[in-house]
Amino acid sequence: VVSTQSTGKTRDLLSIIVADISRCFRWFIFCPYSLSMTVIRVSSLTKNDTIASEKMGKVTMLDKMRAISRKEVLVNLAGLAGFLLLCMGGGGIIGGVVMAKDFGDDSPWYRSLRKPCFNPPNEVFAPVWSILYFLMAISAWSVWTKTGFRKRPTPLIFFFIQLVLNFVWPFLFGTARQLFAAFVEIVVLWVVLVITIFLFNSVKGRSWTHILLLPYLGWVTFATVLNWSLYDLNKDNPDVDIGYVVNG
């Protein structure tokens, strides 16, 4: 009877996790909320299962191993929610506060900029960055599940450095309107990102994670070229202020 109940509980546990992960891929914008609900539900299931076993007086070594495994699942799910909140939440705040005000058709300054022929429509940025932040979060979380923050912190340190640089760039370009400074900053971001990709590739058992960062690298490369083009086209534009201009 105890074995049948444990099997049923394990199946319930797996079904909850599979259902929520599949939901995440369909509605990744709401992943943090979905995963937090998963943690609460799995935690409740684990607690009830342990109490039932203790009442029967039959807590075996296998039960203890299952409890440890369930604890790891909870920690990993909480970590995934944290990385998603950090990447997508941070990116969403910047997109809603900075990008909406200083970029696009709602900004007279941005409309006044001379733009290259390959400047993408404003509608492209939000969905592209949403996908990229999601891939970044999954990649970093996967590395974290292998290395943690203490075992081998260097890959995640560089990941967080590039993420900070990523968050700073819109303020330099849009809020401060310093196009040349923004170009220098995004070049530094590109270099740190390349180092991050190499470090992720070197993590044993998680070398595939660097693949998830390649679309991000491609977009940052494109953004770097676009940043320079905007600076170069507008450094002599009397109708718009782009901040510091390099003489010559």
Model confidence pLDDT, tens digit, residues 36-90: 455 445 445 445 555 555 555 555 555 555 555 777 888 888 999 999 999 998 8
Looking at 1-15, 30-44, 91-105, 112-126, which range is the least confident one?
Answer: 30-44
Q: What is d(CA 140, CA 127) in angstroms, rounded to the nearest whole number? A: 20
- In this predicted structure, the answer to whether residue 94 has a pLDDT above a threshold of 70 is yes
Quick one: pLDDT at residue 192? 98
Contacts of the segment 192-199: beta carbons below 8 A, 24+ positions apart: 192/158, 192/161, 192/162, 192/165, 193/162, 193/217, 193/220, 195/158, 196/155, 196/158, 196/159, 196/162, 199/154, 199/155, 199/158
Give the HSE-up count for residue 94: Cα atoms under 13 Å, Cβ half-sphere: 25
Beta strands in 2-130 (DSSP E): none
Pick the closest to residue 181 from 225, 216, 218, 231 (CA basis): 231
Contact 172, 166 (CB under 8 A): no
The one-character DSSP state at 152 is S
Q: Which two tokens stand for residue 104?
A: 């696009």
Query: Higher pLDDT residue, 174 or 229?
Result: 229
Under the banding of pLDDT at 50, 70 and 90, the label for residue 216 is very high
- In this predicted structure, the answer to whether residue 35 has a pLDDT above a threshold of 90 is no
How many residues are there in the chain? 248
The one-character DSSP state at 115 is -
Quick one: pLDDT at residue 23? 47
Mean pLDDT over each residue of the chain, to the nearest integer: 80
The one-character DSSP state at 173 is I
- In this predicted structure, the answer to whether residue 128 has a pLDDT above a threshold of 80 is yes
How do residues 151-173 score in pLDDT, each as one tens digit?
899 999 999 999 999 999 999 99
Contact 164, 177 (CB under 8 A): no
Residue 233, φ and ψ in degrees, nearest 5: -75, -25
Mean pLDDT value across residues 86-103:
80
Quick check: pTM over 0.75? no
Contacting residues for 176 by C-beta, under 8 A, at least 6 apart: 243
Q: What is d(CA 59, CA 77) in angstroms, rounded to the nearest whole number? A: 25
